Chains A and B, each alone.
Chain A
Amino acid sequence: MSAELKQYHVEKQSGEVLFSQGDPADSCYIVNEGTLEIFITDERGRKVMLATMKKGDIIG
């Protein structure tokens, strides 16, 4: 499958935001390498961690 996906490859640096709560959803992502965190910001502005995503996981 990765051969077919090669053309959709993107890189993100540590600390870079992939998308933010409320953004329109125009894409989904498959993790090839690295670790990403999914979180929400609650009504008091606190960050609530929901999940950690790793190789093979699908985000968005």
Chain B
Amino acid sequence: MALILDEPRTASCIALTNSSLYCINKNNLVDIIKKKPEFAVNLISRFRDKLSSINNKLISKHREEPGIASFQDSGGEILSNNTLRFKKNAIIFRESDKGKSGYIIKSGQVKLVRMNRVQKKETILAVLSVGEMFGELALLGDNTRIATALSDDDDTELISFDEKNFYHMIYNDIDFCLKIMKICCQRIKEMNDKIGGC
């Protein structure tokens, strides 16, 4: 993760037994992904599992329950076959929903949150702005949304993409693939910070 985020190590690692490892630097990582894109898909799937696991810890720490307090399921206004517009506080998707689309923010802002139905309180996992992507993690694994996405602007326009587009981009566009990996690592780091992990 530190390699992808280009940050110093946040922890140490020591061999407890004689160990055999594969050591991959950044250039090698790009070469491997170019030759074997499925390696990247495997890595991204592991990141997603890690995100789900941290998310669950976050829920138990905040004693949250899935559900929505005061936000509206207004749905988006369809501008074209892959562009949608949402008003402020409109729900783009709910945690635990099955999702078949990822989104890129064309204008406005989006909050990824966990909701506490009892306290009517939200825990913000991330605030995303123009050019950022979200919802793509549901396209890996079992399609379950791990957070709720809300529009945080009165004019949030989103470009949606489906699983087929997503995998096509991962397999054919190394920059997109590295971007997805970076997004996963950043979210893992942000969420780890929230639960007081490292």
In terms of DSSP, what is the predominant structure of the interface of chain A?
strand
Interface residues of B in 16-61 (CB under 8 A from A): 16-26, 28-29, 32, 35-36, 39, 43, 46
The answer to whether A28 touches B29 (Cβ under 8 A) is yes
* B12, B13, B17, B46, most chain A CB atoms within 10 A: B13
CA distance A16 to B16 in the complex (A): 8
Given the known A-B contacts A27-B24, A60-B2, are A34 and B12 also in contact in the complex, defined by CB atoms under 8 Å? no
Given the known A-B contacts A24-B8, A26-B26, A27-B23, are A14 and B17 also in contact in the complex, defined by CB atoms under 8 Å? yes
Residues of chain A contacted by B12 (CB below 8 angstroms): 17, 19-21, 38-41
Count A interface residues, CB 8 Å: 43
Query: Is there a chain A Cβ closer than 8 Å to B198's Cβ?
Result: yes
Which A residues have a C-beta under 8 Å from some C-beta of B? 1, 4-5, 8-41, 50, 52-53, 58-60
A-B pairs with the 10 shortest C-beta distances?
Answer: A34-B19, A25-B2, A18-B13, A33-B20, A12-B15, A5-B22, A32-B20, A30-B22, A8-B22, A35-B16
